[in-house]
Amino acid sequence: MSVCSNNRPCPCTFDCPRHGRCCECVAHHRDNNEGVPGCFFSTAAEATYDRSIEALCRDRGINIQG
Ligand code: SF4
């Protein structure tokens, strides 16, 4: 998994060696319970570094209160 052919620009602003290496990014977040990768969020929400599913739902206007 050290080579990733995905060379899309990474919008995540966190200082991280996995920028642009989406497969490593997703695996890292999954394996370390770090929530949702930054590229799923809007620019404003990404900048808060809250990677929770709740933050993602707020950002996307999804009501999870039931
Ligand atoms: S979402 Fe996480 S793993 Fe991915 S580039 Fe940003 S800080 Fe790194």
Q: What is the pLDDT of residues 21-58, one digit of tens each?
A: 899 999 999 999 999 999 999 999 999 999 999 999 99
Residues with CB under 6 A from ligand 1: 10, 12, 14, 16, 18-19, 25, 28-29, 37-38
- What pLDDT does residue 44 have? 98
Our count of domains for the chain comes to 1
- CB atoms near residue 37 (< 10 Å): 20
- What pLDDT does residue 20 have? 86
Indicate whether 29 belongs to any domain. Answer: yes
Indicate whether 46 belongs to any domain. Answer: yes
- What pLDDT does residue 4 have? 72
pTM: 0.85
Indicate whether 53 belongs to any domain. Answer: yes
HSE toward the beta carbon, residue 62, CA cutoff 13 A:
9
Indicate whether 65 belongs to any domain. Answer: no
Domain with 46 in it: 22-60
- 54 CA to centre of ligand 1 in angstroms: 18
- What pLDDT does residue 2 have? 59
- What pLDDT does residue 11 have? 93
